[in-house]
Structures are given as C-alpha cells and as structure tokens.
C-alpha cells in the first residue's frame, strides 16, 4: 500500500541517500558562494499523482530530471570585513547576484 504517512516516510528514507552531501561530493562545490560561510541550498518537493508502478523510481527520475534543468545564478561575496569572508558566526556577507542566467553555474 503506497498511501499514507508510512509510504511517505519510506520514500523519503529511500531517496535521502541518493541526494545526501556524501553522495553528491564534488557536484556541490559550484553551490558554494563563500567557503564555510554561504552556499545555495536546494530543496525538492515532489508530488505523486498516481502510484501505479514503482513510485520510488518515478520520484527518483523526476528529481533527476528537475535537477538537470536547474540553473543557479552566479553569486559573488562582497565585503566581509577586511576584504574576505567573515569567520564562522561573523557578520553576514553582502552578496552580488548576477541576474543573467547566461552566466549561471
């Protein structure tokens, strides 16, 4: 039975290792704006309309397709005290967003 909270918990637990930090490794580096201070956070919300077949495969393929076409704007950290990023817990960085997706990551 794929209806209800138990199924959602199962599907989340099955997909989590595929998209965890350890699984992605080097692919996460472009999401870093300022090492140790700022980075992009990706969140995926997936919804199944029907549970015919294998919902785990459908979700995994849907998430993969969505992430392949996702474009992240290039950002540059500006300021941060003496010309560099603040230490952990320091003042927030000013970020300069390049709004042209031609220069996306």
Of the candidates 36, 29, 39, the residue with the CA atom closest to the CA atom of residue 85: 36
CB 101 within 8 A of CB 62: no
Question: pLDDT of 31-65, one tens digit each?
Answer: 776 676 677 777 888 888 877 888 899 999 988 88
Q: Quick check: 15 pLDDT over 80?
A: yes
Tally of CB atoms within 10 A around 4: 8
| Residue range(s) defining the domain that contains residue 19 | 5-103
In whole angstroms, give the CA distance from residue 63 to residue 15: 10
Question: What distances in angstroms separate CA 99 from CA 31, 38, 58, 75, 76, one per listed residue?
Answer: 16, 18, 33, 9, 12
Structural domains in the chain (count)? 1
């Amino acid at each position: 039975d794929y209806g209800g909270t138990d199924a959602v918990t199962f599907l989340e637990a099955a997909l989590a290792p595929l998209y965890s930090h350890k699984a992605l490794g080097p692919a996460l580096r472009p999401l870093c704006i300022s090492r140790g201070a700022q980075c992009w956070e990706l969140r995926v919300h997936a919804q199944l309309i029907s549970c015919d077949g294998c919902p785990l495969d459908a979700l995994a393929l849907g998430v993969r397709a969505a992430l392949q076409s996702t474009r992240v704007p290039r950002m540059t950290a500006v300021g941060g005290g003496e010309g560099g990023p603040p230490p952990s817990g320091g003042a927030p960085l000013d970020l300069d967003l390049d709004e042209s997706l031609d220069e996306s990551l």
